[in-house]
Chain A
């Protein structure tokens, strides 16, 4: 069953349209990530769900009941939507102790003193902050403040929790640690999480399902992390999930030729038809060797990155990046120098219509 369902949502500021006819459904109990480049309108969508913004048209349901529906004159204020939310800047109240911060939702709900105390302590312990209840936010580190924000969003046991890039302001190690903890909490408490981020690594790590939003606020693909990573529907999604090579391919007499030259792509032929094609693959999906079958290529740039060797090679005017683990390169005589000749083969390759590529480049 869907806990959040959004239909035909329109939202704009003046002449600028952020969302046009957007549909989205989030299932109860899942960890759903909304992934998109900055400024794409994902935070606006989160704020629409929270009730801080009103849609121009369309409808939002939470738990089966409409909360925003301009046509039906429905607009439930944020305080009556029964959600928890964690903000990018933590938004921990600086004049309240950790205890008071976490206790606030229960105080508003008029929970009795002894139950309040028990639940606050339990939630504080849940996020690993026991013993720090008396501290003021100014005496806490960024990661600890984020835990307080998390505890505050969890304490009233909302069925839906919204997280707006909550880990962006933390340093790399802490970010990694926190993302596992969030996932863990979500599973343990069986709540639905809607997580908004521009960081594909976090999205892949914590999501049950995810949606990719493009710069115009349009959802390109929804699916499991595996589906998104392995079966991207278009070059935009493909390139958003990591470094991508797009090589122009032209079709001539039933052959699919790379760049300007006459070498056919050593891979299955595309099933769709297009005027021009683009072959998409990640650097790790391109294998190079001194000799053997494959595309004849020249090494244009060789870069030693420590654990990896990074090469830029050229095949008949088409350039592509590949990487080889340094110790493997040494073992297999793959330490190329600029200007060396090599052959290239694919481990994996996806066909795209070259027309859709321009769009992705934007």
Chain B
């Protein structure tokens, strides 16, 4: 590989490293530089001073409180439902399982908007109903609170634990439990001594994911917290950058908070990998078994009703409210046939420039980001998974970065990198949002593409080489067709979430470069509640249709492949 080797392998490696450096590493590096480098020297004391400022400190504490509460709540809810749908004789289990995964698709900030309409202290429909019809003096629940924020986050995040625990419970070899039963252990003992220790790694890993997500989560806190002065790290970063129009002091506060977020995220991911590697017992095999089912007996109907009520209350109700409010002539009118129409939907789709632009921006941005990230991801994954070149270690390290960099950090880093300080000024253009999207979704693309590439055994490529194919021919004829499903999956994994993206866009948008998420958020902030709800409704339709299509595609690919 001395003479010929330089050429293809090195060029691909260099390109891959360059993409990750420019898109992810430089922004993160600039955040740390700006946080710790004051007037040309390394300064930790000043970082500590910023952390101890009341606002900053409060935001850190809030992030921790909200993340902890959300994690505990989601873990309990997720584990309970997972156990219910895998290990009991609950009726309609398949349907239930599908429904419990629906919150995965729904953007949580749209959920937060719905809950604001339902439970805001004075105007919320539920609170008003109780006050007007049942004689309550005050609101029964104030959504603008820690409890409110945590409640909404739990509703949208518990599937992370649910799906992991379901998987572990389904894959667990039932003979392990049966042999305990033969040894004379009762169901309670089996659950405590056998089942729980075996699924604990999955529970913990899901919980850590939720912790990571919640700490860096912008939407729900932005919608429900700011009203009452509750800020967490991402919302404080946003507020500082937004209010001060890029002054030095505010950027520094932002970078310090962002740096903390990156370190916390890296720590959580490290912990998660520890938990997962320790939990890699032989026992949880890849096969599907038929697990022992607990007879619920008298509890069967009450638990069924409970599940249906949960689904109705957390999924159906908020969605219906969004669509209904979106149809109202004016916010505050009662839901009667005279007050409801499709006019708002028609208006925002065909006449209202702000929303028309937002939809166009989101679709084009999402599409471009998905295409670029899909191709970049397949190339980078190829180097990491398949190629044997010197210097690959750097790429493997860089490849981990996108996983531990939360959205608000990327947005801030991109501002630092592309605001003209280093020659290129993309600020206030769509391009800066595109760059940020690529950085934000690179992790998705890397995961989907490496998984697909792992399936392509080296000997398939080598077989093509001995048949006379050059490296490029082998890539084109063998590798590319075989990773195509992974690439398509990567495309949709990026395109669909980018349609509802808020965290990154909100920090980077200019008046003409609003995305759907930004438009929903700002319309709501400006009191245009019905327009905001109508746009949210359209976003929901786009997302649900998209998800249905991709699921169908994945299913047919699996059957065909």
Partners in one complex: yes
Interface residues of A (CB under 8 A from B): 50-52, 54, 73, 75, 77-81, 83-85, 87-89, 91-95, 104-105, 108-109, 149, 152-153, 156, 162
Measured CA separation A28–B482 after assembly (Å): 37
Residue interface bits B447-478, CB-to-A below 8 A is 1, else 0: 00000000001011011111111110100011
Contact B460 A79 (CB under 8 A): no
Q: List 23 A-B contacts (CB under 8 A).
A: A50-B462, A51-B465, A73-B2, A75-B1, A77-B4, A77-B470, A77-B471, A79-B467, A79-B473, A83-B466, A84-B466, A88-B459, A89-B457, A93-B463, A94-B561, A95-B481, A95-B482, A104-B464, A108-B473, A149-B463, A153-B466, A156-B467, A162-B466
CB neighbours (8 Å) of B469 from chain A are 79, 104, 108
Contact B1 A87 (CB under 8 A): no
Q: Which of these, A54, A79, A89, A162, contacts B459 with CB under 8 Å?
A: A89
Measured CA separation A89–B456 after assembly (Å): 12
Count CB-based A-B contacts (< 8 Å).
Answer: 72
At the interface, yes or no: B278 with Cβ under 8 Å from chain A?
no
Write the nearest CB–CB distance from A110 to chain B, whole angstroms.
Answer: 10
Contact B457 A78 (CB under 8 A): no
Contact B463 A52 (CB under 8 A): no
Q: A79-B468, A153-B466, A156-B468 are in contact. List 4 more A-B contacts (CB 8 A).
A: A52-B462, A78-B462, A87-B459, A156-B467
Contact B463 A85 (CB under 8 A): yes
Q: Which of these, B457, B470, B471, contacts A91 with CB under 8 Å?
A: B457
Measured CA separation A149–B463 after assembly (Å): 9
Nearest-CB residue, chain B, relative to A104: B467
At the interface, yes or no: B3 with Cβ under 8 Å from chain A?
yes
CB neighbours (8 Å) of A51 from chain B are 465
* B465-510 CB contacts (< 8 Å) to partner A: 465-471, 473, 477-478, 481-482
Contact A75 B466 (CB under 8 A): no
Write the nearest CB–CB distance from B513 to chain A, whole angstroms.
Answer: 41
Contact B2 A77 (CB under 8 A): no
Write the nearest CB–CB distance from A116 to chain B, whole angstroms.
Answer: 13
Interface pairs A-B: 5 shortest CB-CB:
A91-B459, A105-B467, A91-B463, A78-B465, A85-B466
Q: Which of these, B1, B466, B477, B478, contacts A79 with CB under 8 Å?
A: B466
Measured CA separation A109–B3 after assembly (Å): 25
Measured CA separation A88–B4 after assembly (Å): 28
Q: Which of these, A54, A95, A104, contacts B1 with CB under 8 Å?
A: A54
Interface residues of B (CB under 8 A from A): 1-4, 457, 459-460, 462-471, 473, 477-478, 481-482, 561
Measured CA separation A50–B2 after assembly (Å): 17
Measured CA separation A91–B463 after assembly (Å): 7
Q: Is the interface of B mostly helix, strand, loop or mixed?
A: helix
Q: Which of these, A50, A79, A85, A89, contacts B470 with CB under 8 Å?
A: A79
Q: Which of these, A73, A77, A93, A156, contacts B465 with CB under 8 Å?
A: A77
Contact B467 A108 (CB under 8 A): yes
Measured CA separation A54–B477 after assembly (Å): 25
Write the nearest CB–CB distance from A165 to chain B, whole angstroms.
Answer: 12
Measured CA separation A78–B1 after assembly (Å): 12
Contacts A73-B2, A104-B477 given; indicate if A93 touches B468 (C-beta within 8 A).
Answer: no
Nearest-CB residue, chain B, relative to A52: B462
Write the nearest CB–CB distance from A84 to chain B, whole angstroms.
Answer: 7
Nearest-CB residue, chain B, relative to A110: B468
Measured CA separation A226–B464 after assembly (Å): 37
Measured CA separation A73–B459 after assembly (Å): 26
Nearest-CB residue, chain A, relative to B465: A78
Contact A91 B467 (CB under 8 A): no
**Residue with the highest number of chain A CB atoms closer than 10 Å, among B1, B463, B465, B481:** B463
Contact B3 A73 (CB under 8 A): yes
Nearest-CB residue, chain B, relative to A164: B459
CB neighbours (8 Å) of A81 from chain B are 466
**Residue with the highest number of chain B CB atoms closer than 10 Å, among A50, A88, A94:** A94
CB neighbours (8 Å) of B457 from chain A are 89, 91
Write the nearest CB–CB distance from A147 to chain B, whole angstroms.
Answer: 15
Contact B467 A152 (CB under 8 A): yes
Contact B462 A75 (CB under 8 A): no
Measured CA separation A92–B477 after assembly (Å): 13
**Residue with the highest number of chain A CB atoms closer than 10 Å, among B1, B4, B459, B468:** B468
Nearest-CB residue, chain B, relative to A81: B466
Write the nearest CB–CB distance from A91 to chain B, whole angstroms.
Answer: 4
Measured CA separation A52–B471 after assembly (Å): 12
Contacts A85-B466, A104-B467, A108-B467 given; indicate if A93 touches B460 (C-beta within 8 A).
Answer: yes
Measured CA separation A162–B466 after assembly (Å): 10
Measured CA separation A88–B460 after assembly (Å): 11
Write the nearest CB–CB distance from A90 to chain B, whole angstroms.
Answer: 8
Nearest-CB residue, chain A, relative to B464: A104
Contact B462 A105 (CB under 8 A): no
Measured CA separation A48–B8 after assembly (Å): 21
